[in-house]
Amino acid sequence: MHSRTTAELVLHLGRIASSEGLTAAQWAVLRYFARANRFSRTPSAFAAVHGTTRGTASQTIKNLQTQGYLTSERSQVDKRSIQLILTDKARAVLENDLFESLVRAVDGLPTGIHADFSNTLQRILGHVARESGKPHFGTCASCKYLEGEGCSPEAQTPYTCSFAKEPLNVEELSEVCINFVQKKTMMARGFIT
């Protein structure tokens, strides 16, 4: 298969997995805030991850707030900034998101193929992000800033983000983070160039 055909398949997957009812930009906002960790639930983090301007991101976010999909609250860490939170209305809409069909298709892949596919997409994303000057994003579970073994005899939080110098709960490990930097072990295996 030619490289162009493969790239077109990736783009086509994105198009057919787009749900109806909201614009593509609005779906991107809702999906992002559904997966963003507490350090990344800001308009500027969304704009950075999605390679858009803060003004464009703010317009879409304000529209979703007006429609009752998002609420905002002051950050507990930095009282000057706000964090955006999905409402129950947004969570209900996301339950019927066609994107979940794509998630189920990936879940249906055999384990080895799934891991190779994920690593390959990470490599492609890293390459495109570097060429375009856009940030590469990922989850705490594969980030170089994740510290901890996953167990703690003191029953305290078993993980820490060394970038934010904050404890992390197990649930936060699968959330998207704006401060993400790929672990070097992935680079050493040739998945990230």
pLDDT over 60 (residue 35) = yes
Mean pLDDT over 16-26 rounds to 80
pLDDT over 90 (residue 29) = yes
pLDDT over 60 (residue 118) = yes
Average pLDDT of every residue of the chain? 83
What would the pLDDT profile of 59-83 be if each residue is shown by its tens digit?
A: 999 999 999 999 999 877 677 788 9
Query: What band does 97 get if pLDDT is binned at 50, 70 and 90?
Result: confident
Q: For residue 22, which of 63, 50, 55 has the smallest C-alpha distance?
A: 63
- Cα separation, 180 vs 136, in Å, equals 7
**What's phi and psi for 120, nearest 5 deg?**
-65, -45
Q: How many CB atoms lie within 10 A of CB 136?
A: 16
Query: What band does 28 get if pLDDT is binned at 50, 70 and 90?
Result: very high
Burial class (CB in 10 A: 0-12, 13-18, 19+), 63: middle
Q: For residue 58, which of 89, 93, 25, 36 has the smallest C-alpha distance?
A: 25
Tell me which of 90 and 153 has the higher pLDDT: 90
- pTM for this one? 0.74
Tell me which of 150 and 53 has the higher pLDDT: 53
pLDDT over 90 (residue 89) = yes
What would the pLDDT profile of 119-156 be if each residue is shown by its tens digit?
A: 888 788 878 878 887 777 788 888 899 998 765 555 46
